[in-house]
Amino acid sequence: MAGGKIRKEKPKAPSNNYQGGISFHKSKGQHILKNPLLVDSIVQKAGIKSTDVILEIGPGTGNLTKKLLEAGKEVIAVELDSRMVLELQRRFQGTPYSNRLKVIQGDVLKTELPRFDICVANIPYQISSPLTFKLLFHPTSFRCAVIMYQREFAMRLVAQPGDNLYCRLSVNTQLYARVSHLLKVGKNNFRPPPKVDSSVVRIEPRKPQPQVNKKEWDGFLRVCFIRKNKTLGAIFRQKSVVLMLEKNFKTLQAVLASLNGVTGEAAVMDVGDQSMGMEDDDNEMEDDDEDMEMDEGQGGGGEFKEKVMNVLKEGGFEEKRSSKLSQQEFLYLLSLFNKSGIHFS
């Protein structure tokens, strides 16, 4: 422009969101591990045997996949993005690993997973909770899973009673598995870097699996963790909680009465510790521990509320808080409720 200064445009720095000509989408949780020392460390801590079939979820461009192929017998990689699938096939085509790599294209949450010995994965963080429980409830047993999570989610998985992050997710996961924190991973180890740090966690399914009704257990914990720092007495006095439990109680009475050929008020019976027999619903196990609103109104059926409170008093739980209770205490309290005919599903 006449009489003005000409600005020299600075050359744009190359984007870090590419590898091998492929762009990564943060919105899809695509953060590729770029630190080879970290990849080696994860594989080492996984304790892979030469005879292992390894499940990898979200392999991306194959940086971790290559090390897994070197360590195990076979890698089954589940990848949603068709571009990544092509990159994996291109990368290992014509190599000694090509016949030991099986790639499944699809959504891992909707995919029927094959048998495997160990799972090693850097997963999209938005599927952390449903994927964790899909693995834990996998019909065939596996030795362990070593998974990269968002750091806060990882710390919730391993949290113990009294920890700030101790929540419904902590109790649920630790019922079905032994969980341990392996290493913290800074965000600069990824391309593109996520907004938060990550952690690698080891999950070992308990054998045998605990004999609990999953839906009943999850429904019970949802109530207990409405407000984890409130006393259980305060939570179970709430009108919405009392009404929900009373409805379940009456429904179960009616079902048992119909099975016995008895109707109406003649259905007075001891329901014991029988289960509701509902189908399991794994997808409801989220990492939000305060997803039910606290109803400050007191009320509900007076006699039934007294029945609920008597259970808490019997076990010495009325003044206790969920944030401090151990897994064994939760199991014991649930058994007391069930023996009184009170159910949560």
Known binding residues for S-adenosyl-L-methionine are: 31, 33, 58, 79, 107, 122
Tokens representing residue 50 in the block = 């030469």
Query: CA end-to-end span of the chain, whole Å?
Result: 74
Determine if the peptide bond prior to 192 is cis (ω within 30°): yes
DSSP state of 265: G
Q: Residue 181 and residue 203: Cα distance in Å, rounded?
A: 9
CB half-sphere exposure, 252, CA atoms < 13 A: 23
DSSP state, residue 227: T
- E strands, the chain, are 18-19, 22-23, 32-33, 53-57, 74-79, 101-105, 118-122, 144-150, 177-185, 190-191, 198-205
Residue numbers in the known binding site are 31, 33, 58, 79, 107, 122
Tell me which amino acid residue 54 is: I
